[in-house]
Structure 1
Amino acid sequence: MRNSKITWAVIAGVVLAVLAGVGVAIAVNRGSTSPESAPTGAATPSGSAPVLETTPSPSTPPAPSPGADIDGPLDLLLVGVDTRVSIPDWQTHSDAIMLLHVEPGLKSGYLYSLPRDLRVQIPAFKKSGFRGGKYKITEAMAYGSRVPGKKTKNIPNGYELLAKTISNYTGIKTIQAGAILNFGGLDKLVDKLGGIDLTIDQKVKSKHRRPDGTARKLVGSDYVGPQAVYLPGKRHLTGWQAIDYARQRYGLPNGDYDRQRHQRQMVKAILAKALSGNLSDAAKLESVITALGKMLVTVGGRRPVEYAYALRDLQPAGLTMVQLNGSGVGSGSGYLGEQLDAEARGFLSAIAKGKAAAYLKAHPKMVNKG
């Protein structure tokens, strides 16, 4: 089996495929060493009775591979969660929201982001006691995660409310699956892959890290001390560098919109590295799972291995990264959030109607070339 069929889509920093890849790889390895796969005429173990030839019975057709019935289109949601567990009573927000739309045939797709501050109508949610209202989309996770009368958080419920909010806003009827990622653990994943190769498209100064990777000191409400700097050009990034680069928005010309693009670049680079041969056996895949620890939560009605099999032919070259632009909205001098421009809203409508390719052909500047 080709390596790409063993480890599909480490999409958005490894979502469904890493888990699924392990399942596929283990199945392949076990199948190759099962008793039924022993070659004809192989020697019998010492002391065992000889096997007599008999008339072969009609063979039973093999069962379809799990996920073989998934034919697309698919819409998958990838959420980067800011947990800040060291801060008491911190509300869980979705700092990164990416969607992957996979076209029928499952060989090509579109990866795009929604601004974390996008101002949307969040529906009422009985499970958390939330009454609904117009807020920043990043807050949907927090409102949905609340457990009435308790300090604990229910992250899957937060994901459910976020998914409903996105579905209502975009017009996408069904989000088939998703993953919730704590980006604090992605650096370990990138290191397990041996780092990633990325073409940096603009100078980025880190707010959070020093050049040696240690944390900058927080004084009051700002960080002080030397800064890590990422210069334009082809770069090989270690785990902490990749995540740090993808986190930055302050000081960039387009703020969070530039950060969204950098996050998509990181996702595509992780996918490319995963399919380059580093995850060719179950042992290596298992080490990746260990690196992820508890940072990965999958949701959806089917097992990750099913999506892994269904998306086995989706390659980095078939993944188009799309930029959705917008601007701030407010009342007087008060900032309320972001709104997408007409071109971006048109793309969401095209996705929902299955006409993304034609829309991007008419709006080619929306495609990230890097």
Structure 2
Amino acid sequence: MEQTPGQASSRPQSNDDALSDLFEHDAAGGSDGTRRGARNEDKKKRRGPKILLWTLVGILVAAVAGAGIIWWNVNQAFNDVEKIPDALPDYEGRPEPLTTDAGTPMNILLLGSDSRAPGSPSIMTDLGSRSDTMMLVHIPADRSDVQVISIMRDSWLAIPGHGEAKINAALSYGGVPLVVQTVEGLLGQRIDHVAVVDFDGFAGITDALGGVTINNDVAFTSSHKAGHQFAAGPITLNGEEALAFVRERYAFTDGDYQRVRNQQAWVKAVLDKMLTTETLTNPGKVQDIITKFSPYIGVDDTFTLQTMIDLGVSMRDVRGSNIRSFTLPTNGTGMVGDQSVVFLDTVSIAELKKHLAADTVSEYQPTGR
């Protein structure tokens, strides 16, 4: 059929026709007098920011997904840390959590043991009375510092339900829950969490951190690492050296007292290296540390990954200079029957209890030995 002027064609337009039409209009201009090419340039300019925006969104989604995978790995690593069931006792008269205007302090009981049987899957196997390290890590409500209080393993005191004995005996009598109850009775404060560290963990944890630097106040020759000399002053230890350092007591005239001070120095060095922005803001590093820690440590079953993350974030401003260590005051050693024991300084400890109750442990000055 012949097409009359002005009549639209009924023939479907092919792709080639459409392209031809586009180029023709680009050359001739649009019905509004604007060149089609100029309008397309405007559209390209408008598309530019959108492309950039979607590119950034894509990068952000990829980053979030990547971080999600890393944190999933962190969670999996934390799940490998042994959980100690029912470590925190429930008994009549147990101290209530302390609440202050600044929030709630946290008390973590740290136990160290070299009792794991070879090949045993549990850090609690045969723990018995062989816990050689006992420390209370006190973190005030305002998270301004850390107070590490060592308790001598031979401290002579009353153990609930068992009369007077060395505090170490509480592990044999009633396991971790009885140790917690004994320490709570001694200091009048609730223990919020417990961690048990295998002595091999001193080496593993040190290596996980790439070594630690300790200010050694007494030079000595190791009896655990034959012929090795630990110089006085700042020394950097690898894992094997750290294990020998914290276990030594025979090289010192005051035996366990200096060993406790050396263990305090190690804990301070570890906390100092862990409580850094570089570590706390690096999920990959957190995962690596937890993975390397997990074979050597057990925690109570209320200590979750979220607990750890929240605690780390709240302590982001704490540095080595904010960490203080001291030994629960004693009046020296003596004999009870055929047992060599450490007598506690009850007067100075009573003063410490007041500071714990007021959340002012940083102001406490220990006396006694």
Residue 329 (structure 1) aligned to one of 305, 316, 334? 334
Stretches of structure 1 that go unaligned for 5 or more consecutive residues are 1-38, 47-68, 125-131, 145-157, 211-226
Q: Do the aligned residues in 2 keep the contact of 1:72 with 1:102 (CA within 8 Å)?
A: no
- The reply on whether 1:189 has 2:219 as its aligned counterpart is no
SS for the counterpart of 1:71 is coil
Residues 111 and 343 (structure 1), Cα distance of their counterparts in 2 relative to 1, 3 Å cut: farther
Alpha-carbon shift at residue 356 of structure 1 (Å) = 3.9
In terms of fraction of residues, the more helix-rich structure is: 2
SS for the counterpart of 1:42 is helix
Residues 280 and 194 (structure 1), Cα distance of their counterparts in 2 relative to 1, 3 Å cut: farther
1:207-226 alignment, distance < 5 Å: 207-210=223-226
- The reply on whether 1:171 has 2:188 as its aligned counterpart is yes
Mean Cα deviation higher: 180-189 or 334-343: 334-343
Please report the RMSD computed on the Cα atoms of aligned residues, expressed in angstroms.
3.2
Q: Match for 1:193: what amino acid? A: L
1:241 alignment counterpart: 241
Residues 260 and 45 (structure 1), Cα distance of their counterparts in 2 relative to 1, 3 Å cut: closer
- The reply on whether 1:115 has 2:152 as its aligned counterpart is yes
2:167 alignment counterpart: 137
Stretches of structure 2 that go unaligned for 5 or more consecutive residues are 1-50, 59-98
Residue 324 (structure 2) aligned to one of 315, 320, 323? 320
Aligned length: 267
1:259 alignment counterpart: 259
Q: Do the aligned residues in 2 keep the contact of 1:82 with 1:92 (CA within 8 Å)?
A: no
- The reply on whether 1:42 has 2:54 as its aligned counterpart is yes
Residues 43 and 143 (structure 1), Cα distance of their counterparts in 2 relative to 1, 3 Å cut: same
Residues 295 and 90 (structure 1), Cα distance of their counterparts in 2 relative to 1, 3 Å cut: closer
Residues 271 and 331 (structure 1), Cα distance of their counterparts in 2 relative to 1, 3 Å cut: closer
Residues 366 and 200 (structure 1), Cα distance of their counterparts in 2 relative to 1, 3 Å cut: farther
SS for the counterpart of 2:313 is coil
Q: Structure 1: how far apart are the matches of 2:126 and 2:326?
A: 35
Q: Do the aligned residues in 2 keep the contact of 1:113 with 1:260 (CA within 8 Å)?
A: yes
Alpha-carbon shift at residue 98 of structure 1 (Å) = 0.6
Q: Percent of aligned pairs with the same residue?
A: 25
SS for the counterpart of 2:298 is strand
Q: Do the aligned residues in 2 keep the contact of 1:107 with 1:318 (CA within 8 Å)?
A: yes
Q: Structure 2: how far apart are the matches of 1:183 and 1:307?
A: 22
Q: Do the aligned residues in 1 keep the contact of 2:223 with 2:248 (CA within 8 Å)?
A: yes
Tell me the TM-score normalized by structure 2.
0.64
1:344-359 alignment, distance < 5 Å: 344-354=348-358, 356-357=360-361
Residues 79 and 311 (structure 1), Cα distance of their counterparts in 2 relative to 1, 3 Å cut: same
Q: Structure 2: how far apart are the matches of 1:186 and 1:177?
A: 20
Q: Match for 1:166: what amino acid? A: V
In our comparison, the structure showing a higher alpha carbon Rg is 2
Alpha-carbon shift at residue 89 of structure 1 (Å) = 6.7
Q: Structure 2: how far apart are the matches of 1:116 and 1:184?
A: 19
Residues 175 and 280 (structure 1), Cα distance of their counterparts in 2 relative to 1, 3 Å cut: same
Tell me the TM-score normalized by structure 1.
0.63
